[in-house]
Amino acid sequence: MIQEKIRKTSILQQMLVLLQVQILTVLLLILFAAGLTVYSSWDQMRTSGKNLLDIYSSEMNSRLDQAWQNLSSIVYQNYDLDLLDSPNEQERYHASMRLQNNLQNVIKTSSSAQMMILADTEYNICLDANDGTFSLKQKEYLRQFSLECAQAGIKNAGWQFLDHEERTYLYRMAGTEGRVILVVISADSLMSGIQASHAGRMEFVLTDREGMIHGCAGESILSAEELKKELPADSAGLAGNGQNTGLGIAGNIDLRKYYMSYAELGDKKIGLAGIRKKTDIFLQMRAGGLLLVGAALLLLMFDYYIYRLLKRKLVFPMQEAVGVMDRISGGDTDLRLPSMGETLEFITLSDTFNRLMDEVVSLRIQSYEKQIALSDAEEKYIRLQIRPHFFLNAMTTISSLSSTGRTEEIQAYIDALSVNIRYMFTSGLHTVPVREEISHVENYFTMQELKYPDAVFYYIDMPEELGDWPVPQMLIHTLVENEYKYAIPQEGTLTILMRVYEEQPDGEPEDQLKDQLKEQPERILVIEIEDDGQGYPEEVIHSIMSPGGEAAEDGSRVGLYSIKKLLYLMYDREDLFMIGNAEPHGAFSRIRIPERVLHERKKQE
């Protein structure tokens, strides 16, 4: 009954999670659609503004090009211009009249140029023609300006702005030494083609290369004076906004408040900029913007709800579980997970984890018990291997001495044997000082001397300060026994050299690093035994030194294998024992004994 109730609760929770995911998906779709709408409106407005700018700039460029062609028609291949410098006054007069008529005809037939002026300083001649939109004061100012340009020797110049009182003009000139011809268009006339109804809430301004504003047209977002305050004309920085404006207007406008597009006019020394407030763009996208903001708010509220829900049902239970697991990994194996969360999944997880922990603890205890039993078995196995090996050799020796009637030697051998038996029966997985092990090895040599008179000469080299180094009991003794097994000659004398020394590390660390090294390199005692006999058989070397090598099925090599196994059990290392043959002949054995024993049992009495 309880399980059925839990199952139904779990199903309801799963349905609730699915419903929440669906709501979140719908909100994301709404937000995405609103974003697309806003972006589409934004892009459309930017595109429409750029298209308007292209249209107006194209019309203005056409007018400026036509005005320049009008000027060129007066300048090039005009014989009357040369007659203005004639010393004959009558020729100059008639040439001036013809040029005056020519200028007027151009103005009448042109829809581009508003005024044309010819100024010559040689005889102070100044001719002009205009479309009637210029006052007498304005005409006089422009005529005087033309004469000044002629006197200054200006020959050719691109389109320039000229501000006079409350009117701004665009002019371009061509000339020779002492003579110029100007074509003039007012900025208001050039901008008159821009209709506010077409431009929308967009301001168009004429600018020069330094970013100074010389004309405005459009919806009048700001007056000309206000716009000049917003776009200060005293800054000539050539900053950019991602477009190739080439003019200082891009450096003066605050692109955080305005969107700007730009087109070059004429000979690229002037330009037309389209400016629109970004707030106006957003106002025109009101419906899409409201939808976007509403969807974003709903999504944030729902995200907060999901965050609180996940924190209560997922994060907190997981944090509690991690804390319990950390304590368990720290050694508190009796600790178990409490019933976590409100979901069936977490309840199942905690129950399953607790059952697994019970099984792990049980298996761990069984493993420890098996390891203890195995260790005891290993120790007994090694001791049973070493002791019969020694006893068989002793019995053989006593039998040999008895058969030859050497009673006194038998008594001496038995005395030495009793000392070794007492020492041997205290052996196991424990250590003794190396001087004690060497002393019993010397006693063993005394025993063997009775069996093999004058057959062995031995020499032991051990520094006195190393005498207390702990070594496994019966280790050297067993190795010396193998010398008699493999190396004792039938004729002659066998020389056995034993050397005991402390191994030096391969390289000392630098002085500046010694302070950083908290642990010194491990000290190791080396015991080397070398003889001049026939050496170990190759199969013995191969069997003992190979990974996983062990004693033969017939019981041979049991002593060497016991040494290897004993060192591994006590020090957890397999690189402490090595046997081989010396050059030109003889056996060589090396045992390395670390200063610290890892596994050692109580010495048996």
> Quick check: 551 pLDDT over 60?
no
Bridge pairing between strands 494-502 and 456-461? parallel
pTM attached to this predicted model: 0.43
Q: What confidence score (pLDDT) does residue 342 get? A: 60
Select the CATH number that applies to the domain covering 398-504+521-594 from these four: 3.40.120.10, 3.30.565.10, 3.40.91.10, 1.10.10.10: 3.30.565.10
Q: Where residue 222 falls among pLDDT bands split at 50, 70, 90?
A: very low
Cis ω on the peptide bond leading into residue 521 (within 30° of 0)? no
Q: Where residue 561 falls among pLDDT bands split at 50, 70, 90?
A: confident
Report for 66-70, 226-230, 345-349: range of highest mean pLDDT? 66-70
505: helix, strand or coil: coil
Show the beta-strand stretches assigned E in 384-513: 431-433, 456-461, 470-472, 494-502
More confident residue, 229 or 406: 406
Q: Which of 71, 265, 79 is nearest to 173 (CA)?
A: 71
**H helix intervals, 550-596:** 558-571
Q: Where residue 238 falls among pLDDT bands split at 50, 70, 90?
A: very low
Domain segments of the chain: what residues? Answer: 398-504+521-594
CA–CA separation, 496 vs 476, rounded Å? 13
More confident residue, 173 or 425: 173
> Dihedral sign, CA of 523, 577, 558, 599?
positive
Q: What is the DSSP letter of 426?
A: T
Tokens at residue 552, please? 């033969």
When pLDDT is averaged across residues 361-384 and rounded to a whole number, the result is 61
Q: Where residue 235 falls among pLDDT bands split at 50, 70, 90?
A: very low
More confident residue, 116 or 9: 116
Q: What confidence score (pLDDT) does residue 467 get? A: 92
> Quick check: 243 pLDDT over 50?
no
CA–CA separation, 319 vs 255, rounded Å? 49
560: helix, strand or coil: helix
CA–CA separation, 179 vs 158, rounded Å? 16
Q: Which of 65, 80, 63, 172 is nearest to 125 (CA)?
A: 80
Bridge pairing between strands 125-130 and 156-164? unpaired
- Find residue 207's DSSP bridge partners: 213, 271
430: CB partners within 8 A, 6+ apart: 472, 473, 600, 601, 602, 603
pLDDT > 90: what percent of the chain? Answer: 14
Q: Which of 301, 266, 259 is nearest to 282 (CA)?
A: 259
CA–CA separation, 99 vs 496, rounded Å? 135
